[in-house]
Amino acid sequence: MKRIEVKLALPVVAPLLDVIKGMADGLRSNLAAPLGPMDLDADFSAAWAGELLEAQNADVAALLAMFNDEFFAEGVIAFDEDNAEQIVRATAAVRLRLREHYLKPLGDETLESGNVELERLDEPLRKAFMCYLFLATIQELIIQHLDSSMLDS
């Protein structure tokens, strides 16, 4: 089984975890990508949205679980075949939430390029942007270093 272990600098990552936890709180009752209008039965639509929300919450819980006591002791997080797919989905959900609630002023092109003068951003926006980049890096690590067949389910 392939496994990636990443050593992170606690002083840098700890403030970003506060941002992730804040976004996770908002994702508990809201889908990161809300469902658009559908030509489905209302009960079916509600059940489907409920299942999606339940899955999203499980994914975000898996992401947060990586930052446990062991992480704070050693500064290491690990990805493998067991958690890779959940972590990719969770990081995507949190990044979508960050984009919608904090990062809209920056625009999608700026977010994707990462071309931002950090010193010009106020503290909350800077932390949200750094968190957005951190989560993108996690996604890239998983996609680049773990077998892509794990992500095809």
In three-state secondary structure terms, 3 is strand
Q: Please write the tens of the pLDDT for every residue from 6-20.
A: 999 999 999 999 999
State the DSSP string of 44-86.
HHHHHHHHHHHHHHHHHHHHHHTSSHHHHHH-EEEEETTTHHH
Beta bridge partners of 80: 3
Residues 6 or more apart whose CB falls under 8 angstroms from that of 17 comprise 67
Q: Are 16 and 131 in contact (CB under 8 A)?
A: yes
Q: Are 146 and 80 in contact (CB under 8 A)?
A: yes
Residue ranges making up the domain that contains 118: 3-151
Task: Using the predicted structure, report yes or no on whether residue 73 has a pLDDT greater than 60.
Answer: yes
Q: Are 125 and 94 in contact (CB under 8 A)?
A: no
Cβ atoms within 10 Å of 66's Cβ, excluding its own: 17
Average pLDDT over residues 92-101: 95
Q: Please write the tens of the pLDDT for every residue from 22-64.
A: 999 999 999 998 776 666 677 887 888 899 999 999 999 999 9
Q: At what angle do helices 42-65 and 10-27 cross, to 10 degrees?
A: 160
* Number of domains comprising the chain: 1
